Structure 1
Amino acid sequence: MSNIEDIRKFYARLMAANAASPDPRLEEVFAEVPREAFLGPGPWTIITGNGKVTTPSADPAHLYQNVLVVLDADKGINNGEPFLHAMWIGKLAPKPGEAVSHIGSGTGYYTALLARLVSPGGTVTAFELDDRLADLARKNLEACGNATVVHGDAVTAPLPPSDIIYVNAGVVAPPSGWLEALRPGGRMIFPWRPAERVPLAVMVTRTDRGFACDPFMRSWFIPCFGASVAELAAKIPTRDEATRSRSIWLTSDRTPDRTATAIFSDVWFSSKGLDAAPRARPRK
């Protein structure tokens, strides 16, 4: 068997380097949290290109690479690309004491990393719609102490007040409830998929002037149930319009104007930043 501790440490170093995060704790948590504990017994099925391969053995060393590991082949659910998640988590910069909502937690691996990063004093509420995966996540996260798994629909259920919202399923637009759940200074990353041709990851930050947004990279995730189909009246952005979006507004707060790059029933995206915007009305 391989020296799994050394392998995990090197994997963690690669994750931290890819994330380019100034927080040394990011490397620490990737080294401390055993990925194999969240993936069931090996051998494991790995997604590669347009196909799949099976690891030659149940040696967990096979998991400490930048590989997608199948969780449910029939539903297209996998554990996610570690490089991508390391970069996203580093960009969100979780701090001790913060409250996180994780939407689409799967079996809980990245939930566990977030739970470590907001300790002490912080909490993670993990939403998972699939009942089997939610049950596995609940068991896998028992040792965390500060992570709660909710088997339910995060699109329709209210989110708790959150400093961070981490979304791992593609949406045509973030539900207004997600934006409203963000505390002042709160950050959200979500995979934006308003059309097949527009797969982007978007970072949202709640400021005293509103919701700033930054479409910062291409990204593809499986669709989010209940939030992956646009209404007929929606204005769907081109790829160029989507990448030029700089703020998000609730339609109840502000009517879409000529700067709109995308318009949906409850929210719309604007190419105009928040520098010149009036301060947002305080919300309870």
Structure 2
Amino acid sequence: MDKHTSVDEVRAFHARLMAVVSGSDDQRLERVFESVSREAFLGAGPWKIRVNESYIETPSANPVFIYQNNVVALDAAKGINNGEPFLHARWIGAVAPKSGETIVHIGAGVGYYTALLSMLALPYGRIHAFEIEPALARRASDNLAPFESVTVVQGDATELALPDCDLIYVNAGVVSPPVSWLKALRPGGRIVFPWRPSQQLGVALMMTRAESSFTVRPLGPAWFIPCVGASDPAGCVKTPSPLQVRSIRTAWLTQDREPDDTAVAVCRDVWLSDRSD
């Protein structure tokens, strides 16, 4: 890096990359990514960057080291991290948060991606951020205090009631999405989550609520720590192959419709099919 290059310039270039990676034509994205400082949420550096199964420490507390496509430790002992920026850019581009929407963020960590979502919901939108780890929830509350219409809830989102919402953004690995989450979605509402139907498979799914079913779009590989309350391996009784995952198009709540011979995967509350409804 040129010795005269500022952190603001690096952040601006990172924001441009994020907007391109998102695959979205939303002109707000670059401005939002540039306006939210990642270092303000991660605490004082140096920072620990996850590489494969271990962590390396940045050479200094210069924020330029965290404006790369890296995963930064929030609690290295527990394997809790601030996730990969390009992955989140793709997710945000896919779910397309809109002004005025109500958004639920599950696994908010210290609130960095919550802040980005809140900016995209302006004006009049609301963000409900759930974080089960008390220390992280406290940090998120402090970090998000300047952001409008954000509420941080410390607790288990699989046990607590979710508000009716337009978007649920999940940052923890899920074997079977709880029925309470899917029912909280308004018509046209979206949920994106890292699906872990087996130990060998981790993929992001976006589900959109239709009249009597959910349309499904796989978004590529995604590996997150397990979601407390939604990661029981027994929660998926029929697991798909990686090839079958790419064919999934529709999902139904099991209580509304029993699985049929098109079922690619059958989980506790929901089953997924390669048939378009």
* TM-score range relative to shorter protein: over 0.9
- Residue 149 in structure 1 maps to residue 152 in structure 2: yes
The question of whether the paired residues in 2 share the 8 Å contact of 1:205 and 1:211 is answered with yes
| More displaced stretch, 198-207 vs 264-273 | 264-273
Deviations 1:150-173 (A, max 9, x none): 101111112111101101111111
Give the alignment partner of residue 80 of structure 2, picking from 77, 80, 85: 77
Map of 1:196-275 to 2, 5 A cutoff?
Answer: 196-231=199-234, 234-274=237-277
Aligned 8 A contact 1:190 1:201 in 2: yes
Q: How does 1:1-284 map to 2 (within 5 A)?
A: 3-231=6-234, 234-274=237-277
TM-score normalised according to structure 2 size: 0.95
Letter in 1 for 2:191: M
| 8 Å contact from structure 1 (residues 246, 273) kept in 2 | yes
**Does the CA contact (< 8 Å) of 2:129 and 2:151 recur in 1?**
yes
Q: In structure 1, how many angstroms separate the alpha carbons of the residues matched to 2:247 and 2:35?
A: 39
CA deviation string 1:65-98 (max 9, x = no partner): 1111100011101100001101101111111100
Paired residues of 2:175 and 2:236 also in contact (CA < 8 A): no
Given the superposition, is the C-alpha separation of residues 138 and 216 from structure 1 closer, same or farther in structure 2, using an over 3 Å criterion? same
- Aligned pair in 2 of structure 1 residues 232, 69: CA closer, same or farther (>3 Å)? closer
CA gap 1:233/1:224 in 2 versus in 1, 3 angstroms: closer
User: Does the residue aligned with 1:154 lie in a helix, a strand or coil?
Assistant: coil
What do residues 212-232 of structure 1 show as CA deviations (whole Å, max 9, x unaligned)? 111231111111111111327
| 1:191–1:219 CA contact under 8 A, matched in 2 | yes
SS at match of 1:74: helix
**Partner SS for 1:231:** helix
Give ranges in structure 1 of 5+ residues lacking alignment.
Answer: 275-284
Q: Deviations over 1:7-41 (max 9, x none)?
A: 11111001111112100111111100010010011
SS of match in other structure, 1:107: coil
Report the Cα distance in structure 2 between the residues aligned to 1:24 and 1:32, rounded to whole angstroms. Answer: 14
- Are the equivalent residues in 1 in contact too, given 2:91–2:219 (CA < 8 A)? no
For 2:126 and 2:90, locate their aligned partners in 1 and report how far apart those are by CA, in whole Å: 21
Distance between the aligned counterparts of 2:35 and 2:95, measured in 1?
A: 20
Task: Using the TM superposition, give the Cα deviation of residue 62 of structure 1 relative to its aligned residue in structure 2, in angstroms.
Answer: 1.4
The alignment partner of 2:234 has SS state of: coil
SS in 2 for 1:268: strand
| Structure 1 residues 59 and 243: alpha-carbon distance in aligned structure 2, compared to 1, 3 A threshold | same
The answer to whether the Cα contact below 8 Å between 1:197 and 1:239 also exists between their aligned partners in 2 is: no
- 1:234 alignment partner, SS class: strand
> What is the CA distance between 1:59 and its match in structure 2?
1.2
Contact 1:99 1:123 in 2 (8 A): yes
TM-score, length of structure 1 as denominator length: 0.93
> Cα distance, 1:241 vs. partner?
3.0
Give the drift of 1:106. Answer: 0.3
AA in 1 matched with 2:242? R
The separation in 1 between residues aligned to 2:11 and 2:19, in whole angstroms, is 12
Q: Percent identity?
A: 52
Q: Distance in 2 between matches of 1:232 and 1:93?
A: 29
Q: What's the offset of the Cα at 1:47?
A: 1.1
* Pairwise CA distance, 1:49: 2.9
Structure 2 contact 175–235 (Cα < 8 Å) conserved? no
CA contact (8 A) 1:198 1:242 kept: no
Q: Would the alpha carbon gap of residues 43 and 232 (structure 1) be closer, same or farther in structure 2, given more than 3 Å must change?
A: closer
Matched pairs, number: 274
